[in-house]
Structure 1
Amino acid sequence: MPSVRRLDYHYMAMQIGFWAMFAAICAYQAALLTSRGFTNAETGLLIAVRCLAGIVCQPALGSFADRHPHTPLRLIVSLALGVGLIAGVVFLLCPMGMAGTMAVLILMGGFEITSYPLMDAMAIQFIQKGVPIRYSLGRGVGSLAYAVCCVALGLQVTAWGVETTLITHAVLTALEIVLVITYPVCPVEESAAGPAPAPHSALWLLRQNPAFALMLLAILFGLTGCLPMSNFLVNVVTSRGGTAGDLGIALFLMAGFELPTAFFFQRLYRRLGGGRLLLLSMVFCFFKALALFLSPSLPFVLLSQPLQMLGYGLFTPTSVYYVNDSVPPEDQVKGQTLMMVASNGLGGVLGSLFAGSILDLGGPNAMLLFCMACCTAAALLALLSLKMSSRSAT
């Protein structure tokens, strides 16, 4: 077994690399696509297709990883990131219309988004063996990396244009592949009592645990309302008198305020549990949409960003631990992929589709009203899931 210090710091480095890479493609994706002549509705469709590709790819790779426990997860993740890297380079070098852009984003979304839950599982494997990897802190420094990268991207876009973000994405993806492929492999122990239980299907998991299935539905609504506030933050910023350069500052504050959550997350989780924390995160996503809606100018948009700390910042580590506590051990990877499908997958698809169209029809305030409605539905469904869990426990 590798040393705890190496596993811990190496995992933090992977989180830093992934979220910096993710910022390079996601933070300015709306600005990039509109600069290439796409409308807000078309941009929303393209972002949705990118997320939809992750929905299709994640369960397939998750099931493959569950069925082949002797295949190192680092190999699967590295290959997935390699496909995303090649697609990103093609996107940079080859001008293309709607069909070509959609094809490239399908590859980038399908494999880059899929790599994250599998990368999480690389740490969870060691955590389940008693290795005290500080997952929530790793996710927090990842958010900080996203924030810093957004500021750097804002300066880069101002100086050299939005197209150069694709160069940054390619470089950071290559570095992340190096970090992933060098992460230690968790040893697979053969049980003396016989072979481990076979993994179940995703449908079996949802049928056997209706409270878990209902919480996934709540998260679907919640992320449908939450993700447009980052994907289309450029529209909110410019509508309040800001510029594309100011977007970098807003994104820095948004991601930076996810870091403090890492320091008190474990205490909150022990006190409240995963279900209550997920409910709390949906409530604060609503408050953030409300604060942005009421913001009369750019400074108020910036002052709204601390709400990210108990909104999406709380959701991310909680969702991983919630799955770990709700799903049988043999289905851990599949459970994490189902969570990612419901949140950044389907939530990203529906949020991008609806938000892009609503922006064209009614502007940023109409989009924020839509976000508030989705987060309200999410909170109600999460509350119902908690009641269902308490009834089944008794």
Structure 2
Amino acid sequence: MNLTYRYSAIQFTHWASSTGAAVFATTYLLDKGIHSGVVGVLLALAGICSCLTQPVLASFADRTEKFVLTQMMIIMSALCGVCFILQLIPGIPVMLMAVFYMVGIWSSDTMVPLLNSISVAYNDAGYFVNYGAARGVGAVASAMSSLIVGWVIVKFGITWMLILLLAVRLGSVIVLVGFPQIEQSRLLVREEQKSLSIYEFFIHYRWYCISLLGIAFLGMFHAMTENYLIVIMNALGGNSSHVGIALFIEGAVAAPAIFFYYKIRKLSSDTNLLKVAAVSFLIKAVGFYFAGNITTVYLLEVLQISSYALLAPAQVYYAKEKVKANDMIKGQAFMTAAYALGCSAGNFAGGQLLNWGVSAMLGAGIVMALAGTVLVFVTVTKKDAENCRKLTKIL
């Protein structure tokens, strides 16, 4: 049975809501009168919370005897929707509104490794799910969300953004409810095949975990420039509409690369494509620093085709290649958590660095992208030990 269309619908609704909420978080919170430094702290806290909870939820999903991924996604999607609803209550205190917004972002971020793992689980259960094609649909959703939400904010105001994102998130719940039930793929396995604890995972997959630092640094740069793009545009004479156009360009060029990634990876390995993505992020960082007008920013966003468009699917396949099947959800979770941790650090750093100006923030972005590129080149081709049970006993 082909579940690609249904899985694509989940990717579409998830990324449309998640991208709209994330990229316009700074716009939303600044509009409510919250200082940029506080915005950075709130965004960082949301990311840190997702980093802490993703591995925990993944470990639970790996070890449970029943298949619970879709149920977990439904619960997290409903929580996100409730957070949007609560912000629409008249007279709600601004800081409480900000907290609800951050909880919504946290729940969206926490769902990503579960969303990625669903495709693997259903393929293993005998269904057909084309992850690359579905993730390409998600990229299109991100582009459309960026453009439409930016236009909605300018045309109708910030409140209508919440209503739009709420409607899309409810769509996720409806699609998830319709997924067929499957059995957990792990029943009786040998000792060395059992799912590792989080401690054992870090010991066994040492090089894999170090490579996650490189992903974190790339996420740090990417999130900082994405979430504070409104500030960059303002410095160049732009507004929320220009942010929407820039993000639409990102999504438009990224979607085909993500959609056809399964063909691209036949031409080169996932590790090599991760290296290409890292170098593209570095070029983009340098370009942002020297950008003197909005048109240059638009042109730099075209690099999304070789940066995030390769990083997003490549990290999923890279994790699948490096991590054994019974630790698959944890492997995806740690990859996503590393990126989210980088995003949190980037959000916090961006808010603080803006006290010294946009140039200071963009200069720091070059350092972040450079660190990520070096770590990716050094670590992604390294192999970890085969027998993790013996290794953990020795240590």
TM-score of the alignment, normalized to the shorter chain, above 0.5? yes
Q: Which amino acid aligns with 1:355?
A: G
Structure 2, gaps ≥5 residues long: 387-395
Q: Which amino acid aligns with 1:356?
A: G
Q: Which amino acid aligns with 1:95?
A: I
Taking structure 1 as reference, are residues 39 and 103 closer, same or farther at Cα in structure 2, changes over 3 Å only? closer
3-state SS of the aligned residue for 1:38? Answer: coil
Q: How far off is 1:45 after superposition?
A: 1.1
Residue 137 (1) aligns with residue 133 (2):
yes
Whole-Å separation in 2 of the counterparts to 1:198 and 1:89: 41
Whole-Å separation in 1 of the counterparts to 2:302 and 2:83: 35
Contact between 1:70 and 1:188, CA under 8 Å: does it hold in 2?
Answer: yes
Aligned pairs for 1:82-121 (under 5 A) are 82-93=78-89, 95-98=92-95, 100-101=96-97, 103-121=99-117
User: Which residue in 1 is equivalent to 2:273?
Assistant: 277
Q: 1:378 aligns with which of 356, 372, 375?
A: 372
Residue 347 (1) aligns with residue 350 (2):
no
TM-score norm. by structure 1 comes to: 0.91
Aligned pairs for 1:258-337 (under 5 A) are 258-337=254-333
Bigger shift: 29-38 or 206-215?
Answer: 206-215
Whole-Å separation in 2 of the counterparts to 1:62 and 1:387: 25
Q: Which amino acid aligns with 2:8?
A: M
Stretches of 4+ aligned residues off by more than 6 angstroms: 192-196
Residue 33 (1) aligns with residue 26 (2):
no
Residue 159 (1) aligns with residue 182 (2):
no
Bigger shift: 330-339 or 70-79?
Answer: 70-79
Q: How far off is 1:175 after superposition?
A: 0.9
Residue 389 (1) aligns with residue 383 (2):
yes
Residue 359 (1) aligns with residue 354 (2):
yes
User: Which residue in 2 is equivalent to 1:62?
Assistant: 58
Contact between 2:67 and 2:183, CA under 8 Å: does it hold in 1?
Answer: no
Taking structure 1 as reference, are residues 241 and 192 closer, same or farther at Cα in structure 2, changes over 3 Å only? closer
Q: Give CA-to-partner distance per residue, 1:254-286, whole Å, 9 cap, x none.
A: 122111212542243234322222222111111
User: Which residue in 2 is equivalent to 1:249?
Assistant: 245
Q: Which amino acid aligns with 1:374?
A: M
Structure 1, gaps ≥5 residues long: none
Alpha-carbon RMSD across the aligned residues, in angstroms, is 2.2
Taking structure 1 as reference, are residues 155 and 351 closer, same or farther at Cα in structure 2, changes over 3 Å only? same
Whole-Å separation in 2 of the counterparts to 1:391 and 1:81: 38
Taking structure 1 as reference, are residues 102 and 265 closer, same or farther at Cα in structure 2, changes over 3 Å only? same
TM-score norm. by structure 2 comes to: 0.91
Q: How far off is 1:127 after superposition?
A: 2.8
User: Which residue in 1 is equivalent to 2:164?
Assistant: 168
> What is the aligned length?
385
Contact between 1:57 and 1:111, CA under 8 Å: does it hold in 2?
Answer: no
3-state SS of the aligned residue for 1:314? Answer: helix
Q: Give CA-to-partner distance per residue, 1:337-381, whole Å, 9 cap, x none.
A: 1111100x2111100000111112222x22121111111111111
User: Which residue in 1 is equivalent to 2:393?
Assistant: none
Whole-Å separation in 2 of the counterparts to 1:60 and 1:193: 22
Q: 1:47 aligns with which of 27, 43, 46?
A: 43
